[in-house]
A and B are shown apart, each in its own frame.
Chain A
Amino acid sequence: MSYGLRSFLPKNDMINILLLAVLIMVIFPLSMDIFRLNLVGKYLSYAFVALGLVLCWGYGGILSLGQGVFFGLGGYCMAMFLKLEASSPENTAIQSTPGIPDFMDWNQLTALPWFWEPFHSLSFTMIAIIAVPVIFAFIVSVAMFKRRVGGVYFAIITQAIAAILTILIIGQQGYTGGVNGITDLRTLKGWDIRTDEAKYILYFVCCALLIGSILVAQFVRKSKLGRLLVAMRDKEDRVRFSGYDVSNFKIFIFCLAAAFSALGGAMFTLQVGFMSPSFVGIVPSIEMVIFCAVGGRLSLLGAVYGTLLVNWAKTVFSESFPELWLFGLGALFIGVVLAFPNGLAGVYSTYVEPMLAKWLKSLKSARPPMPSSTADSRS
């Protein structure tokens, strides 16, 4: 049966994923200096969140305005490990309590809090990066979806959670680093993550994980579960009365989106070198929804391109017009939602793709022997 792989990864999707991989793993590294590439790496870590939102919001119709929570939890788990390594007794000898992170010392803590202890272990940290956000997402979504809270109410609650977590992190300065976050991260198992070489490697790790996540998302999208999500978005009752426990599917997809976000958060911490509550709260969470909306909430790859594009625009515009940028972002969101509800991916598939197909056809009829033209023309 040739059915399995073909149905999971049709030729078109495979080509498009390969093109993205070539763009981020070959073209970007060759054409940019490490400073710019590191910026792209930061953007790509947001793309994990957008990817989760495509499944959760685009397919499942569950709008979460609190994905920053999971991004942040993943990022903080990573940061806690790195901070502990950076706070070895030798490095912190001048503190009144050596061996604990500097911000704890400033806040008159004299011992490492119990929940920091396990983050001495890298393997625990790697599990925690995914497990902590997913367990949290599970608790939130079970509480909501089993009671059939959905739609706008769910969006508002996720937003409230994002606000609460930000306040909690800022308030508990001694345990979390407060508003500054966890900064001055240096090494990962003795490997200095601040060097250019390390930044290159981390960038490629981030790309590989992103492509891997896209493939996982693609598998879910193409499975019956993907079609069930679309069905639930449309007629939830019909799905329920066809013998499915609708809440379980919502819980699953929300947890999966949380896992993607957490992975992005961890890659963010590694590449940018710190984690702070400004990536957890309401504003970043909504920004992430905008990335997804601009790229196209029904397209996995669209969300990645959307994230890159909006962030690139943000960097360029906010360098020259810092006050105007937020208005620009708001206008962009309203414009996209009104004019192109399916975002860039929608524009591509309705306007660009037919034009390309036409152009290719005319090209083919003019010069018949050119077999590989389909693959080249899209980049």
Chain B
Amino acid sequence: MTATSMGKDFVLSVEGLTVSFDGFKAVNDLSFYVDENEIRVIIGPNGAGKTTVLDLICGRTRATEGSIKFRGKELTKLKEHQIVHAGVGRKFQNPSIYEDLTVFENLEISFPRGRNVFGALMFKRDKEVIDKVHEIAELIFLKDDLNKQAALLSHGQKQWLEIGMLLIQDPELLMLDEPVAGMSVAERKLTAELLNKITKDRSVIVIEHDMQFVADIANRVTVLHQGKVLSEGSMDKVQNDPKVKEVYLGH
């Protein structure tokens, strides 16, 4: 198994990953590889272990067995913030933003500078920060709401804000958990546009249920079922796989 990861330089190689919660294996001997600049979509029925896989990569859940290598670095041994410093960004399923702060402050906190106690005390809101915040706000359609309290944003805007908070960190691997869930049709369209823009220079893993949306953005699709890879390949290939039809797409 190690031979595969040695042979080619993947951005992310997950090998033999297993996590068990009191004997229940949410992810079971899972292996997959993400290429440079690839957009990988993970689909699967409820409880297939999709979110758990993201939790494992970003360090929220500790793996029972297996390895996760990001640009040759073993992530399973790092702490959450070190994984972020290594260049992995993760968006949560429910918009996870700081409701008591303004949009500007939300983005500013995510700006990758002054991340230790002393640095945070001495952090200065200089031109570089302000410019970057404005640039990102423009991208996520929130440039007129910078001084608004984040709690007052609509659900879709909150999703965008969280995506923006990741973008300002400029991660090399971006993980998005259901980025269009709960969005209106118009918002979905804008989000697809946004994702197309921001996925240019980085690898992305997306979990999504909306098949149309998946077909629009995915390079490759991985279908998870009961913690294992059921099928992997292009959207067409996966959609025509009889095993996939049986467990997931058929209903």
Which residues of A line the B interface, CB within 8 A?
3-4, 7, 219-220, 223-225, 227-228, 230-231, 233-235, 237-246, 248-249, 252
Contact = CB atoms under 8 A, between A and B. Distances in A.
Interface string B33-62: 000000000000000000000000010100
Contacts of B125: 3, 7
Contacts of B100: 230, 233-234
A238 B97 contact: yes
B121 A240 contact: no
Contacts of A249: 117, 120
B98 A235 contact: yes
B109 interface: yes
Contact of B120 (A7, A219, A224, A233): A224
B80 A240 contact: yes
Contact of B116 (A234, A240, A248): A248
Contacts of B81: 240-241, 243-246
Given A3-B124, A228-B109, 17 more contacts: A3-B125, A4-B124, A220-B121, A223-B120, A224-B109, A225-B117, A228-B120, A235-B96, A237-B60, A237-B92, A238-B92, A238-B97, A242-B109, A243-B115, A244-B115, A245-B115, A246-B81
Given A242-B84, A244-B81, A227 B121 contact: no
A239 B90 contact: no
19 contacts: A223-B123, A224-B123, A225-B121, A231-B109, A235-B97, A237-B60, A238-B92, A240-B80, A241-B60, A241-B89, A242-B109, A242-B165, A243-B115, A244-B115, A245-B81, A245-B115, A245-B116, A246-B81, A252-B117
A241 B58 contact: yes
Nearest to B58: A241
B171 to A, nearest CB: 10
B109 A234 contact: no
A238 B98 contact: yes
Contacts of A223: 120-123
A251 to B, nearest CB: 8
Interface of B: 58, 60, 79-81, 84-85, 89-90, 92, 96-101, 105-106, 108-110, 112, 114-117, 120-125, 162, 165, 169
Contacts of B162: 238
Nearest to B80: A240
B117 A243 contact: no
Contacts of A7: 125
Contacts of A233: 100
B136 to A, nearest CB: 14
B84 A243 contact: yes
Residue picked from B79, B89, B90, B98, most chain A C-beta under 10 Å: B98
Nearest to A231: B98
A3, A238, A245 — most chain B CB neighbours (10 Å): A238
Nearest to B105: A227
Contacts of B101: 227, 230-231, 234
Question: Which A-B residue pairs are the 6 nearest by beta carbons?
Answer: A243-B84, A224-B123, A225-B120, A231-B98, A238-B96, A252-B117
A229 to B, nearest CB: 10
Nearest to B175: A241
A4 B79 CA distance: 34
Contact of B85 (A4, A219, A239, A243): A243
A224 B116 CA distance: 11
A227 B58 CA distance: 24
A240 B162 CA distance: 14
Contacts of A224: 108-109, 114, 120-121, 123
A7 B126 CA distance: 12
Contacts of B85: 243
A234 B99 contact: yes
Given A231-B98, A235-B96, A237-B60, A245 B79 contact: yes
Contacts of B99: 234
Contacts of B110: 242
A34 B220 CA distance: 80
B205 to A, nearest CB: 14
Nearest to B100: A230
A223 B108 CA distance: 12
A245 B78 CA distance: 12
Nearest to B86: A243
B102 to A, nearest CB: 9
Contacts of A240: 80-81
B72 to A, nearest CB: 20
Contacts of A234: 98-101
Nearest to A234: B98
A26 B243 CA distance: 83
A244 B99 CA distance: 18
Nearest to A227: B105
Contact of B169 (A3, A228, A243): A243
Contacts of B96: 235, 237-238
Contacts of B58: 241
A224 B123 CA distance: 6
A245 B97 CA distance: 17
